[in-house]
Structure 1
Amino acid sequence: DQASEVQVTMMLTESCKLRGLHHRNLLPITHVCIEEGEKPMVLLPYMNWGNLKLFLRQCKLVEANNPQAISQQDLVHMAIQIACGMSYLARREVIHKDLAARNCVSDDALQVKITDNALSRDLFPMDYHCLGDNENRPVRWMALESLVNNEFSSASDVWAFGVTLWELMTLGQTPYVDIDPFEMAAYLKDGYRIAQPINCPDELFAVMACCWALDPEERPKFQQLVQCLTEFHAALGAYV
């Protein structure tokens, strides 16, 4: 009820972007309802645990022996699902532009689906920053070419996927938390990246690092990420 006209317009725009797309790792839009004199509504299926970022942070708070404790293998499985959904979007030539844990949802079977609506901006306003204009951007998730030249592509989505993978392995921590958003472009241009998470295997961090290559052409494709993470997930299972 408190949404501004800009927020309503953004919600409808993002909803239409994913409308008509069908994949097990995308949150399907059930209905878009626009009636004269009434507030527009977008109906989405209910997911037991809701927002993925909130779920990850909840996991960080619980005891290790709690039934909701989550394993590294579970986290990699979630990453594979996100990569599968993004691979589908890339094949359909749809650019997400705001991939992050906050824009994914999860249920109690650890089934993950990607969404893209303006409501997450209200949940996590500190994840968005205005860099001297009127547009709030997810600066800490953006590729350098997006920050500097406003260029978005499947390759910039791959960059954001690398940050999302980092979020998974840190159970919802904020990336680049100590870096001023206005300094992010210079920080990335100088070759700096977020540090390897504690207890994150070197092989998995290497996947993240590939996603953050300065040259978009050097970043892996989403289908390559699916294959790589699936192989890593199988290797983890061999030690369980």
Structure 2
Amino acid sequence: VLFIGTFGRIFHGILIEEKDPSKEKQVFVKTVKDQASEVQVTMMLTESCKLRGLHHRNLLPITHVCIEEGEKPMVLLPYMNWGNLKLFLRQCKLVEANNPQAISQQDLVHMAIQVACGMSYLARREVIHKDLAARNCVIDDALQVKITDNALSRDLFPMDYHCLGDNENRPVRWMALESLVNNEFSSASDVWAFGVTLWELMTLGQTPYVDIDPFEMAAYLKDGYRIAQPINCPDELFAVMACCWALDPEERPKFQQLVQCLTEFHAALGAYV
């Protein structure tokens, strides 16, 4: 077992090909506990299928769904041997206290580029993620990042979701104003969430807007306030984040522009080293 929540569990498993039993693949197995409600099961399956059938090197869509009478459903995804990006960043923060070179700014920007590439592909396919965040990305030991669905995220990262009185847990601190106020989602609201994800990368997994009451978030954003520039974050990089948080969705950059901008910044960082 890799993660356990209140109703969900994620295992590390082995998938054996039926046609060729000698072929084994390592997989993540997402499933639910016996006491999970029907609503929780349905939600896991619906959210797991969000990226199904999409092929891009920076996406991790499900490969199989197993549903048997009387058994809990299982969702299989390709295995990444470091797992969750948010937990990885937090681990880096612990290590950084003793070893400041543990992860470089260049590495972090490269991770951001990969997320932007995956999101650019989704935007081209007119798929809206609605819950982009470090917790919904995975990373391997070559620092390759892939975006996943948000099945079980509410369960495994409950502190990142809040109910604003409508019985639905939302990732309030990652949401654009129009999503919070009018429940409007688009590729532009995904861009807003990307800005927050970039902030998570540069702070090694800190929680955004940690001191703001979730019920006050909409008013706080409307008044023009945003999360502060992270320590050691270059001005150019913070300017990219700030663009993503424009109140008018039309004024936010497109993902393809973000890929280009971050790639140029990454190259410039390389030139300084």
TM-score normalized by the length of structure 1: 0.97
**8 A contact 1:144–1:185 mirrored in 2:** yes
> Which is worse superposed, 38-47 or 74-83?
38-47
* Higher helix fraction (1 or 2): 1
Deviation readout 1:97-128 (Å, 9 max, x if unpaired):
00000000000000000001322222210100
The CA deviation at 1:93 is 0.3
The CA deviation at 1:66 is 5.0
* Higher strand fraction (1 or 2): 2
Is the partner of 1:192 in helix, strand or coil? coil
Work out whether 1:135 is the aligned partner of 2:142.
no
Deviation readout 1:33-54 (Å, 9 max, x if unpaired):
1122111110011111100000
Deviation readout 1:14-35 (Å, 9 max, x if unpaired):
1222110000000131101112
Structure 1 residue corresponding to 2:217, chosen from 170, 173, 184: 184
Distance 1:218 1:19, change over 3 A: same
Is the partner of 2:78 in helix, strand or coil? coil
Is there any run of 5+ residues in structure 2 with no aligned partner, and where?
A: 1-33
**8 A contact 1:62–1:68 mirrored in 2:** no
**8 A contact 1:7–1:118 mirrored in 2:** no
Structure 2 residue corresponding to 1:22, chosen from 55, 63, 77: 55
The CA deviation at 1:7 is 2.3
The CA deviation at 1:4 is 3.2
Larger radius of gyration: 2
Distance 1:12 1:26, change over 3 A: same
CA distance in 1, matches of 2:100, 2:142: 13
* Consecutive aligned runs of 4 or more in structure 1 exceeding 6 Å deviation: none
The CA deviation at 1:222 is 0.2
The CA deviation at 1:150 is 0.1
The CA deviation at 1:76 is 0.2
CA distance in 2, matches of 1:106, 1:139: 24
CA distance in 1, matches of 2:223, 2:179: 16
Distance 1:102 1:234, change over 3 A: same
**8 A contact 2:154–2:169 mirrored in 1:** no
The CA deviation at 1:64 is 5.9
Is the partner of 1:113 in helix, strand or coil? strand
**8 A contact 2:96–2:102 mirrored in 1:** yes
**8 A contact 1:146–1:152 mirrored in 2:** yes
CA distance in 1, matches of 2:159, 2:253: 29
**8 A contact 2:131–2:150 mirrored in 1:** no
TM-score normalized by the length of structure 2: 0.85
The CA deviation at 1:73 is 0.2
> Which is worse superposed, 129-138 or 1-10?
1-10
Deviation readout 1:177-226 (Å, 9 max, x if unpaired):
00000000000000000000000000000000000000000000000000
**8 A contact 1:52–1:106 mirrored in 2:** yes
